[in-house]
Each structure stands twice: as structure tokens, then as C-alpha cells.
Structure 1
Amino acid sequence: MIRTARPAEAEAIAELHLRARSTYYPDGLPEDGFDWVARWREAVERPDGHVLCAVRDARPVGIASFRTPEEGPGELVKLFQFHVDPDHWRAGIGTALHTACVERWQADGRRSAVLDVHVDNARAQAFYARQGWVPDPENPPAAGDHHLYLRYAVRSGE
């Protein structure tokens, strides 16, 4: 089941987020100093944000966090976080979660979405390519940057 995340799930979401992120850092997950539980609670409670979660056995196994600007239809959607618990990879959760995001963007009248992905996260890059994401022509890779910027065209009635 995919639904809107609840503030009470912030701790479980933060744990999932950190497990997923740790898979693509070759030297281990860097200490960033963030209180990820508080950050996820804020993301869930933001009036301009959306956090969808895929749930199995009453626990989040996939999460997607995005914001849509208030300026009106056609504006970009910014996908901030998209993670599937590594214990649940290759089970269709990511594809179902992505589909739910796209359906929400379509319902909101959005035409495109952007995200950045870590250069060492080959698995995510391949996933996004399969979903139709392409390099963002407005944000080409910069020397030394550890992110790749991708864009997705949201088609009406997709």
C-alpha cells in the first residue's frame, strides 16, 4: 500500500533513509550532523511538501519526499528523497512508489520534475533511467560535484 506518511512514522522513515543511503557511499555513510528524525517529521508536516510511503506489515519500506511550488500549474516538482529499504529491493516497490508520485504530479497539473542523485549510486541512476528520467540540460554536471541532476517530463494522463 502507498499512502501519505504520518508524523509518528518519522523515526522509522529516518532509519529506512539511512539504511538506503549507506549502500552507495563507498567509504561509509558520512556524518552530516542532521537530526534525520526531526527532518523527516518536518517534511511530513510541511504544507508545501509531500511524503509518500510504501507500507508492508505496518512499516514503511519505501519513501518519496517532494515539494510542489505554490505558483501554479507547470512549475517544477523537486524530488528530494526517494528510497526503498535494501531488504525490499527488486520487489516492485520503487516502481509503484514512482508511479504514485507521477500520479500526484499529474493531479496537481505539474509538467516536469527534477532531482539530484549521488554519482556513486549506480543502482538509483539505472532505476531513474528506466522510469524515464534524463540528464537535466539546465544543470550539467560540474567538475568535482558529487551529484547528477535529472529531469522527468510529466505527461498528462500518463
Structure 2
Amino acid sequence: MINERVTGGLMIRTALPAETETIADLHFRARSTYYPDGVPPSDFDWYEAWRGSIARPDGHVLCAVERGRIAGIASFRTPDGAPAETVKLFQFHVDPDRWRSGIGTALHAACVEEWQADGKRTAVLDVHVDNRRAQGFYARQGWVPDPENPPAEGDHHLFLRYRVPGE
């Protein structure tokens, strides 16, 4: 697991439990940008979800820290029932104020580095259909539509797959 990786002025490291509120807030702000009418009302507790993700022994939460402030987050693990060489990127967000600054690319590279070290060969994710900016980012990183998981009619997510480069 990555404890700390410095790229330029950006540090990528494992998230700490004390950062849960900051991470949940960044997640909400980033997520708010791709819903045309704002984030749908929900009784889902993202703070608790992030707290659980950070505490999971089988999960990984990385954060990109710039000038002492969390500017990006990524959460991934092997999903239940999936082959051991598969990893799912559950959440990947960059602070909207820092888009197009290279943070997402550096954070994605750190994820790939960890997937390689963990022996992962395939990564999967789902992205909201209205999140065109994220779809473009993932395409630039090498993600493609998942042939094993085509979108179902009425589903609001596209399913993508990434071949983790071998060593």
C-alpha cells in the first residue's frame, strides 16, 4: 500500500480516519457537478460510507494532497465475488477547483502503481452517464467500455474496464 508518494508539489498518500469529513465534502462537491438538477436527495450517509472505506482492511483510499489540502481522492478494492486479479475503482474525485491541473492524472497513476504491486490485471468502474468530463478523463487514461457489462436500458451508469499494464 502506498504510504506516501511525492510528485512535484503533490503528495499522494493513504487517507487517514481523521480526514473522513474533508473527503466526504470533496466527494459531494465533485459529485454535484454532473447532476443537472443537483445531487438527488438521499438519506445515504456519505460520511459513514467514507469512514467505512478508510477503515476496511481490504480497501484502499488514496488522497492527493496539495499545499496541505486534500485535492483528490480514490477508493478501490476487489469487489465481492470478483476474481482476485480484478479491482474496482469505487470513487475517484478531484476537487472541482483543481480540475485540469494534473491531480487526477497523478492520482490515477498512483492507483495503477498500487494495482500492479497488488498483482491486479483488470480494473473496472462505473461512471454516471451525465458525467462527460469524467468519461473523457477515463478514456484518456485507457479505460474502455466493459464488454462483459453493457449498459442496461434505463441505467444511469456506464461500465468501463482498464487493462492494468504488466511489469
TM-score, structure 2 as length reference? 0.90
- Matches of 1:155 and 1:95, distance apart in 2: 16
Q: CA RMSD in A?
A: 1.7
Match of 1:104 in 2: 114
Show the 5 A alignment for 1:28-47: 28-47=38-57
Kept in 2: contact 1:7–1:44 (CA 8 A): yes
The yes-or-no answer on 1:123 pairing with 2:123 is: no
Report the count of equivalent residues.
157
What displacement does 1:121 show?
Answer: 0.1
Kept in 1: contact 2:78–2:84 (CA 8 A): no
Show the 5 A alignment for 1:3-152: 3-68=13-78, 75-152=85-162
What displacement does 1:61 show?
Answer: 0.7
Kept in 1: contact 2:142–2:162 (CA 8 A): yes
Q: Describe the shift of the 1:111–1:24 C-alpha distance in structure 2 as closer, same or farther (beyond 3 A).
A: same
Q: Deviations over 1:40-90 (max 9, x none)?
A: 111001001000000112221100000036999852101100000000001
Match of 2:6 in 1: none
How many percent of aligned residue pairs carry the same amino acid?
75
Structure 2 unaligned blocks of 5 or more: 1-10
Please state whether the residue corresponding to 2:130 is helix, strand or coil: coil
Please state whether the residue corresponding to 1:42 is helix, strand or coil: helix
Structure 1 unaligned blocks of 5 or more: none
Kept in 1: contact 2:76–2:91 (CA 8 A): yes
Code of the aligned partner of 2:60 = H
Runs of 4+ more than 4 Å apart: 69-74
TM-score, structure 1 as length reference? 0.95
Kept in 2: contact 1:19–1:85 (CA 8 A): yes
Code of the aligned partner of 2:66 = R
Q: Describe the shift of the 1:73–1:100 C-alpha distance in structure 2 as closer, same or farther (beyond 3 A).
A: farther
Kept in 2: contact 1:69–1:75 (CA 8 A): no
